[in-house]
Structure 1
Amino acid sequence: MQYLLMIYSKESGWSQMTDSERQQGVAAYHAYTEALKKAEVLVGANRLQHTNTATTVRLVDSKPQVLDGPYSDSKEQLAGYYLIDVPDLDAAIAWASRCPGAAHGIMEVRPVWSAPYDTPSAA
């Protein structure tokens, strides 16, 4: 089953680190990503740009309303994610616990819902 491991952290945290701390952080994420690859559970991953680059779209009276920035304010922002394929929630939680993001932010683990239309139909 696929799970999305979402990394929430303070955007300003990176800029407040020393060069040495940033290098250690990059190395920790690289090692974590390599461990996921070696275990053959990594489906995809990406780091997200800061929230000031976000665009929020919603419908108001059936017309799109486009706003700059994220939808809501919070202490932590969605900074990146890992999409993994593991047997169950316990395995997903174990991988989330190993992510460097768990040490400096919050990890949200959410199962991916495969909609029926994602499955090819038999012809």
Structure 2
Amino acid sequence: MLYAVLCYNDEAVTSAWSKQEDEMVMGRLMKVQEKVARQGRLGPVARLVPTTAATTLRKTRDEPIVIDGPFAETKEQLLGFYMVDMPSLDAALDFARELAAANPGVGSYEIRPVGYFAQNGIDT
């Protein structure tokens, strides 16, 4: 089954990392990714830029309006995601545990089954 693993953390903390700290964390995460990729279970992976670069289209009763940023009233922001093909929720949770172990500090990982996924071939 396909799962989206949504990675949340306090971007004020992660953006304060030095280049060396960031590279260390990304290197540890890459090892987890490579392991799952060798198993043929890793799909798209994305690291999002800070929410200060985000724009939100908010649907209202009238026309949708565009506003800067997500302005979420949360301490953690969505910083990235993984798409993984796992045999069970427990396997997806194990993957998320490995990500958590590779990432210092606090944060959370939301594991959500994917109901629809279209792989349309966007290359970046």
TM-score by length of 2: 0.82
Q: Which has the larger radius of gyration?
A: 1
| Structure 2 CA distance for partners of 1:109 and 1:101, relative to 1, 3 Å | farther
Aligned to 1:73: 73
Spell out structure 1 runs of 4+ moving beyond 2 A.
Answer: 14-23, 100-104
Find the aligned partners of 1:103 and 1:87 in 2 and give their Cα distance: 29
Which has the larger displacement, 52-61 or 18-27?
A: 18-27
Aligned residues with identical type, % of pairs? 33
Unaligned runs of 5+ in 1: 119-123
Task: Please tell me the residue identity of whatever aligns with 2:92.
Answer: A
**Contact 1:58–1:64 under 8 Å retained in 2:** yes
Partners of 2:42 and 2:86 in 1: how far apart?
9
SS of 1:23's equivalent? Answer: helix
What do you get for the CA RMSD once the two structures are aligned? Answer: 2.0
Q: Report the counterpart of residue 29 of structure 1 in structure 2.
A: 29
Q: Compared with structure 1, are the counterparts of its residues 7 and 73 closer, same or farther at alpha carbon in structure 2 (3 Å cutoff)?
A: same
Aligned partners of 2:57 and 2:67 also within 8 Å: yes
The residue type paired with residue 63 of structure 1 is E
2:30 is matched by which residue type in structure 1? H
Q: Is the Cα–Cα contact under 8 Å of residues 8 and 101 in structure 1 kept in the other structure?
A: no
Give the deviation of 1:45 after TM superposition.
0.5
Which residue of structure 2 aligns with residue 105 of structure 1? Answer: 107
Cα shift readout 1:43-97 (whole Å, capped 9, x = no counterpart): 1101001101111112222311111111522111000000001111111111111
Distance 1:55 1:23 in 2: 27
Mapping 1:1-123, distance limit 5 Å: 1-99=1-99, 100-101=102-103, 104-114=106-116
Unaligned runs of 5+ in 2: 119-124
d(CA) in 1 for partners of 2:21, 2:71: 30
The residue identity in structure 1 corresponding to 2:116 is S
Q: Which amino acid aligns with 1:40?
A: G
